[in-house]
Structure 1
């Protein structure tokens, strides 16, 4: 058997929370350590990460800890290195357009976190550049690779719901202010000048979830709030939190069959969780309903739907949660980030377009931008189709 092909990946922003935990620790290193992935023709491809960051001491420490041979603080130089096949970016959103543009100009394949740019014009510009250059570009759509949403999509494909009527989502948790207990999210998330915003952060996720489960987003009606106006940063210093820490959105959706569906998703870093998971989506249809988190999915068919009667004078005697059946796994699910990385790497070797690319990401940036416009103008905003 021939030796596996090695793809060298420059991993920028790897010292950040997502870059380190999900992309390096739970994706690229396991792919490397398992000997790569097997392709349909029986050949193999594996990976060689190159850690890229601004703090040399930090990336050297991570490289030594995880037996990574190469690291650098020279992002521009590694992008131009002819031995590098892929540029991955998980750095600050404000720097991403510049980084990805340079990578495209150098003929590199791309895999990136989102948002891909701070504005819709920047995101569309990247999609056009990558298309013209003929490189394979992938954008993280991790939630669609997780067990709960895979099972939810399976129900859609099998016609379980009949005609889909609505989708409702609840996301969020209490992020501590940082005064008495350390905040579990970085402080830049809550400063507009640093690119913070619940809408900017999460609407790009909700766009691909809505597209991946139900259909195209046609309009948005959004309301934002900064519920916690003062927080404390990593140094324990108080600062004004001027970015929205909650966004409440209603989305008009259209299925591939042309049916209209109402979507509603609440997102908040100032809410206490009374759910099974930190995010849950409920889809209701004429023939059945389902509720999915990131891992679990339960469903209720029309034939098994109980007939509750409203009577506020009597205590509830039935357990509504017990009336749902869990949707079985019927498969072995890997880490969602790793699963998408493996699909992307196979696309790079095959020279084909990744199904979740920069155009999909541009639609996510568009939804965030128009969501903020909707909130500012207190009105519904239609979403035009993006064409390259």
Structure 2
């Protein structure tokens, strides 16, 4: 057995997503299973190097997980020839500068989305990475969730016939922070810190729609701030300047219409925090994070609208569960495995910084659409 060590500078691991999903449930989980077995006697062994601003937090995390290397000096870490990959899960406003440094240092890149605060910055990162000849990837974790993997199976198997529409609901109530602590950091609600739910979620919706149903051709959006006053981590009140809800209509190639609501000011009355209903000429499906249910054309009931009588049909019971048919690993870990194989073996990879730029562009166009009150075309990035 040959072990290939890949050293990864992980910037932003003191944050919720960087720590739980990328460090613990992805790279450390790979180490716990003995590394990533490539099936030919070679094992990829990820070696995290923790990077951040807080010496205390980094030292604590390293000690907790038995890691030897951490640093508050990003420049020194990037100057180390032993570092193979730079990973970035910082706040969005800090990402672009750090990624440019990593490109200049010749590191392969794997970054969270959005990749930059605007389309110009996102495209610049993609161009610089291509010119430098480094491998680069963007986290697109929703594609690897069990529910959406089942949905992809249905699409690729022709279950829907001609897809007509996609309807998505995402969100939950984020506490204001006065009488219960908020579940999200306060910068999310400040436009000056690159906050906003459209900037956060429209990049997700771009790659989900693009990968499963086709490229987004137009966008019409309404963004709003439902909760204008919140309390930060220290209990200090502040004015929310970023949108906490975004209502979008997207026209896809082929005439498919997608409508997706995203909100941090909605109370959940559905089975999962995100659900997509896809309707086609031959059947429909409702997919969440884990589950996926279907109703075929031949099994579609015949509802009749009668407001004078109570509804007796068990609508939810008329849908069939799509079986797992496979063991689904953590979605972040599954994409990390593919990126590591791409770096070590040059295996195929399509979720690069250009794909990330498409998501940043869609978020910016959604904001413009809301401000201007009109539908906007979505060009290929850079055009």
Q: Same fold (TM over 0.5)?
A: yes
TM (normalized to structure 2)?
0.98
1:349 counterpart = 2:344: yes
2 CA distance for matches of 1:87 and 1:382?
A: 34
1:307 counterpart = 2:306: no
2 CA distance for matches of 1:334 and 1:356?
A: 19
Q: What's the counterpart of residue 370 of structure 1?
A: 365
SS of 2:192's partner is helix
Matches within 5 A, 1:327-346: 327-346=322-341
Q: What's the counterpart of residue 176 of structure 1?
A: 175
1 CA distance for matches of 2:109 and 2:118?
A: 19
Q: What's the counterpart of residue 382 of structure 1?
A: 377
SS of 1:321's partner is helix
RMSD: 1.0
1:15 counterpart = 2:6: no
Matches within 5 A, 1:151-170: 151-170=150-169
SS of 1:239's partner is strand
2 CA distance for matches of 1:199 and 1:45?
A: 36
Q: What's the counterpart of residue 197 of structure 1?
A: 196
SS of 1:349's partner is helix
Cα displacement string for residues 23-55 of structure 1 (whole angstroms, at most 9, x for unaligned residues): 011101011121111225341111110110101
1:272 counterpart = 2:267: yes
Aligned residues of 1:207 and 1:363 also touching (Cα < 8 A)? yes
Aligned residues of 1:298 and 1:325 also touching (Cα < 8 A)? yes
1:232 counterpart = 2:231: yes
1:386 shift after superposition? 2.2
Aligned residues of 1:136 and 1:354 also touching (Cα < 8 A)? no
TM (normalized to structure 1)?
0.97
SS of 2:24's partner is helix
Cα displacement string for residues 43-90 of structure 1 (whole angstroms, at most 9, x for unaligned residues): 111111011010101100000000111000011110111000000000
Matches within 5 A, 1:35-50: 35-50=34-49
1 CA distance for matches of 2:378 and 2:370?
A: 14
Aligned residues of 1:191 and 1:243 also touching (Cα < 8 A)? yes
1:377 shift after superposition? 0.1
1 CA distance for matches of 2:256 and 2:39?
A: 38
Cα displacement string for residues 97-121 of structure 1 (whole angstroms, at most 9, x for unaligned residues): 1111111111111111011011101
1:354 shift after superposition? 2.4
1 CA distance for matches of 2:260 and 2:195?
A: 19
Which sections of structure 2, spanning at least 5 residues, go unmatched? none
Aligned residues of 1:136 and 1:352 also touching (Cα < 8 A)? no
SS of 2:158's partner is coil
Q: What's the counterpart of residue 51 of structure 1?
A: 50
1:72 counterpart = 2:71: yes
2 CA distance for matches of 1:76 and 1:261?
A: 46
2 CA distance for matches of 1:51 and 1:21?
A: 13
SS of 1:10's partner is strand
2 CA distance for matches of 1:386 and 1:204?
A: 13
1 CA distance for matches of 2:29 and 2:240?
A: 38
2 CA distance for matches of 1:326 and 1:352?
A: 34
Aligned residues of 1:116 and 1:361 also touching (Cα < 8 A)? yes
Which sections of structure 1, spanning at least 5 residues, go unmatched? none
1:234 shift after superposition? 0.7
1 CA distance for matches of 2:40 and 2:103?
A: 28
1:24 counterpart = 2:19: no
Cα displacement string for residues 237-261 of structure 1 (whole angstroms, at most 9, x for unaligned residues): 110011100000000001xxxx210
SS of 1:127's partner is helix
Misfit runs of 4+, over 4 Å: none
